[in-house]
Amino acid sequence: MEHRDEVSDFLRTRRGRITPDQAGIIGGARRRVPGLRREELAMLTGVSVEYYARMERGDLRGVSAEVLDALARALQLDEAETDHLNDLAAAAGPRPPRRRGGRPSQAAALPQLQRFLDAVTGAPMWVRDRRLDFVAANALGRALYSPLLEDESVRGNTARFTFLSPASRVFFPDWEKNADGIVATLRTYAGQNPLDKGLTDLIGELVTRSDEFRVRWARHDVRHHRAGDKRLHHPVVGDLDLTYQAMEFTAQPDWFMFAYSAEPGSVSAERLSMLGSVALPAHLLGEDPHRAAR
């Protein structure tokens, strides 16, 4: 992904979805294409047409926080989109100095993480990284995601499973919604980590191998993956209606933990309690949290 192209496409797609009426512009009818004109967006942002045109050509170097905030308001960006715009602007500047020390290595942190997860027995919990590779899980987490973990072709990666494995359309009853979320999450992480070769390699692989992924990637949608509902169809216990919470690791900012629960007394809660009998052994995850990236 070329950074300038990424910036340009993001701004153009966001500009194209805002109608003159939504922006409060009078006399905006009868236009050849939907969305705002560059000069209209420049006016709403409070910059010259030339300055905005430079930004839409992909050059965000030196753009102030005030201009970025004004642009986000003019484009009516949500929180995730605003953060993405700021990530793109940060990536356009000088690379920050590389942090040294003060953070345990992932290999050293993994055994402690696994002990913590194993201590949680009442709810499925699992950890993934920014490349959507499975890092670790407790017994219920391994059982819940057994269709993914048992498919050696996807190498423990939820994006590969979603777009390259036919089993994903059974496992995720709301496949379209889930696929949209996967791509938007990857787009968000790519904006935060444009130099992550493993991430860009994964995206390149999926763009090449999946039409469904390629169409969604072109939309430039982004999202924060924090909490929500998840419907799954497990091959052993059947349909599950769950809620999840996402948690970040201060010491390992590339890792994210997800915990699932079901409404107490519900059928899904009963089925969730049955998952312990089909739990997968821990060795299926391996000892290297990034084995799937190789």
269 inside domain? yes
Look up the CATH number of the domain holding residue 276.
Answer: 3.30.450.180
Which amino acid appears at position 182 of this protein?
I
Residues 113 and 78 in one domain: no
Strands laid side by side in the 227-234 sheet: 134-137, 125-129, 255-261, 238-248, 227-234
Average pLDDT, the chain: 88
Look up the CATH number of the domain holding residue 41.
Answer: 1.10.260.40
Q: How far, rounded to the nearest angstrom, does the alpha carbon of residue 278 sit from its chain's CA centroid?
A: 29
- Please give the pLDDT value at position 32: 73
| Percent share of the chain, pLDDT over 90 | 73
Judged by DSSP in three states, 138 sits in coil
- Please give the pLDDT value at position 100: 46
Residues 243 and 141 in one domain: yes
Task: Give the number of other Cβ atoms within 10 Å of residue 115's Cβ.
Answer: 9
Average pLDDT over residues 285-293: 42
- Domain extent at residue 55: 3-92
Domain boundary among 47, 70, 92: 92
Residues 72 and 119 in one domain: no
Judge whether residue 104 has pLDDT over 70.
no
Count of domains for the chain: 2
Residues 142 and 24 in one domain: no
Least confident of 30-34, 35-39, 230-234, 265-269: 30-34
Task: Give the number of other Cβ atoms within 10 Å of residue 288's Cβ.
Answer: 13
257 inside domain? yes
The pLDDT confidence band at residue 275, using thresholds 50, 70 and 90, is confident
Residues 138 and 177 in one domain: yes
Average pLDDT over residues 206-211: 97
Domain boundary among 92, 121, 151: 92
- Please give the pLDDT value at position 226: 87
Judge whether residue 75 has pLDDT over 60.
yes
pTM of the model: 0.84
185 inside domain? yes
Residues 45 and 132 in one domain: no
Judge whether residue 279 has pLDDT over 70.
no
Average pLDDT over residues 126-136: 95
Least confident of 126-135, 156-165, 168-177, 279-288: 279-288
- Please give the pLDDT value at position 106: 81
Residues 149 and 270 in one domain: yes
- Please give the pLDDT value at position 162: 98
Domain boundary among 36, 58, 92: 92
Determine the Cα–Cα distance for residues 181 and 224; give it in Å rounded to an integer. 9
Residue showing tokens 């990857």: 186
99 inside domain? no
Judge whether residue 207 has pLDDT over 70.
yes
Among residues 136, 133, 138, 184, which one has the least CA distance to residue 161? 133
Q: How many CA atoms lie within 13 A of 69 on its CB side?
A: 3
Residues 233 and 266 in one domain: yes
221 inside domain? yes
263 inside domain? yes
pLDDT in tens, 241-260: 999 999 998 888 899 999 99
97 inside domain? no
- Please give the pLDDT value at position 242: 97
78 inside domain? yes
The pLDDT confidence band at residue 56, using thresholds 50, 70 and 90, is very high
The neighbouring-strand residues paired with 248 are 256
Residues 77 and 207 in one domain: no
- φ, ψ (nearest 5 deg) of residue 216: -70, -40
Residues 149 and 208 in one domain: yes
- Please give the pLDDT value at position 121: 87
E strand spans, the chain: 125-129, 134-137, 227-234, 238-248, 255-261
Judged by DSSP in three states, 254 sits in coil
Average pLDDT over residues 260-277: 91
Q: Which helix (H) or strand (E) is 68 found in, with range?
A: helix 65-74
Pick 265 or 2 by higher pLDDT.
265
Give the single-character DSSP code of 22.
H
Give the single-character DSSP code of 47.
S
